[in-house]
Amino acid sequence: MSQKAKKKQRSTSGWRLKPIGYVKSPYKEKAPHHGRENDKGDFRLVLDPEYIGGLDQLKQFKYIYVIAYLHKSGKKYPIRVSPPWARGKVVGVFASRSPQRPNPIGLTITRIKKIRGNEICTTGLDLLDGTPLLDIKPYIKDADVKSKANNGWIRRNLKSPWSKPKK
C-alpha cells in the first residue's frame, strides 16, 4: 500500500460516534476512581428506545463492559500522569486509567441487576450523571478472564482504587 493510501486509511475525517444513550448515576460533580458492587445509589444505563432490540439476551450475562465518552474531560491531556493515589509515581497515560486522555473513553465493568425496557440497572459505576454511552458489551467469562493477569506498576503498598476494602 502506498504512503498516500496509508495516510488516507488513517484519516479521521468522516469519523463520527453517536451515543446510544446516557448514564444515570448519583454523581453530579465527582465520581469515584473505581465503581464497586456495593456502592449506594441508583445506577442506570438509559438507552435511546431505537436500541432496545440490542438488549435481547443480554440478561443472560452477569457482567457487562460499559464504554462511555467522558464528556467533561476537556481536550487537554498530559502524556504522562501521576494518579492521585500513586504517591508521585509518574506513568504514561496509556499505562493509566486517567479520564484525561487523547480519546476520553471510559471502560467500566459492572453487574447487571435488572433490565427494564430500555434501562439497565447496574451496580456501582465510576461515571458522572449524564455521561454519554457509546457501547455495551457482555463480559464473557471464558473470553475475558485472564488467569495470568498482574497489576503492572501498581504495587501492593499503594492504596489504589482497586485495593480490596478492609473487612
Ligand X SMILES: C[S@@+](CC[C@H](N)C(=O)[O-])C[C@H]1O[C@@H](n2cnc3c(N)ncnc32)[C@H](O)[C@@H]1O
Q: How far is the CB of 39 from ligand X (least distance, A)?
A: 12
Q: How far is the CB of 164 from ligand X (least distance, A)?
A: 17
Cβ atoms 110, 123 nearer than 8 A:
yes
Q: How far is the CB of 65 from ligand X (least distance, A)?
A: 10
Supply the DSSP string of 35-61, one letter for each residue. Answer: --TT--S-EEEEE-GGGGGGGTTGGG-
Which CB atom, from 58 or from 71, has the smaller least distance to ligand X? 71
Cβ atoms 133, 66 nearer than 8 A:
yes
Tell me how long the chain is. Answer: 167
Which CB atom, from 21 or from 106, has the smaller least distance to ligand X? 106
C-alpha cell at 140: 464473557
C-alpha cell at 121: 440497572
Which CB atom, from 47 or from 128, has the smaller least distance to ligand X? 128
Which CB atom, from 122 or from 131, has the smaller least distance to ligand X? 131
The beta-strand segments (E) located in 56-166 are 63-69, 80-81, 91-92, 105-116, 119-122, 132-138
Q: Which residues bind ligand X (CB under 6 A)?
A: 31-33, 70-73, 97, 99, 106-108, 126-128, 131
Q: How far is the CB of 37 from ligand X (least distance, A)?
A: 14
